């Protein structure tokens, strides 16, 4: 349950001026759609179940934030910091995540249909069973990302690192385990 109401949050944003710090707040379930959180520190905040539809989160700090089942449809998340964030079952269709830092983030079972993710950092992110139909990933980095069962149909993968559409992608290339390097003994 949210600690404060939408009205109290809006008043706090206005009073705080540039780059307010709202880290660690429980804002779960609130309708925060159409608000301006540009550059706001929401690190560790609980935004689960929130409506952030058409919300401006450009440059926002969302490190370790919980966005489980949040609605980020049409949201602006350019250059936002979402590493280690929980975006489980998030709905981010047509959101803009250009240059966003999603390292180690969990996007499992999320929907990102027709989103734009130019030069997005997805290293070691968990993308399992997420839907990325029609997403523009130009210049994004997927090194060591996990994408089992993810839907990338119609996605644009130009100039990406660790392309999930390539059968032998670098994204899962890891050195063999030491036990597999043992020389077999003659029998």
CATH class of 20-166: mainly beta
Mean pLDDT of 61-90: 98
Confidence of residue 167 (pLDDT cuts 50, 70, 90): low
Element (H, E) at 8: helix 6-16
Tell me the per-residue pLDDT of 139-163, one tens digit each, with 9 for 90 and over.
Answer: 999 999 999 999 999 999 999 999 8
Tell me the per-residue pLDDT of 91-120, one tens digit each, with 9 for 90 and over.
Answer: 999 999 999 999 999 999 999 999 999 999
81 phi, psi to nearest 5 deg: -105, 105
Is residue 171 predicted with pLDDT exceeding 70?
Answer: no
Is residue 170 predicted with pLDDT exceeding 50?
Answer: no
Whole-number pLDDT of residue 186:
53
Q: Pull the structure tokens for residue 62.
A: 């969302």
Q: Pull the structure tokens for residue 70.
A: 């949040």
Confidence of residue 20 (pLDDT cuts 50, 70, 90): confident
CA-based max dimension of the chain: 78
Q: Highest mean pLDDT: which of 51-55, 170-174, 181-185?
A: 51-55
CA nearest 100: which of 51, 140, 44, 49? Answer: 140
Do 27 and 8 contact (CB within 8 A), yes or no?
A: no
């Amino acid at each position: 349950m949210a600690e404060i109401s939408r009205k109290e949050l809006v008043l706090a944003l206005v009073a705080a001026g540039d780059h307010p710090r709202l880290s660690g707040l429980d804002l779960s379930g609130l309708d925060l759609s159409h608000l301006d959180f540009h550059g706001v520190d929401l690190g560790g905040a609980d935004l689960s179940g929130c409506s952030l539809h058409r919300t401006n989160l450009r440059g926002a700090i969302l490190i370790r934030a919980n966005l489980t089942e949040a609605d980020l449809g049409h949201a602006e998340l350019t250059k936002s910091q979402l590493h280690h964030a929980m975006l489980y079952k998030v709905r981010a269709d047509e959101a803009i995540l250009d240059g966003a830092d999603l390292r180690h983030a969990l996007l499992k079972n999320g929907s990102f249909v027709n989103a734009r993710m130019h030069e997005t950092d997805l290293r070691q992110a968990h993308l399992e069973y997420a839907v990325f139909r029609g997403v523009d990933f130009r210049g994004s980095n997927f090194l060591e990302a996990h994408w089992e069962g993810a839907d990338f149909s119609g996605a644009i993968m130009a100039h990406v690192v660790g392309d999930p559409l390539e059968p032998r992608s670098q994204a899962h290339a890891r050195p063999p385990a030491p036990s597999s390097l043992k020389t077999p003994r003659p029998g």
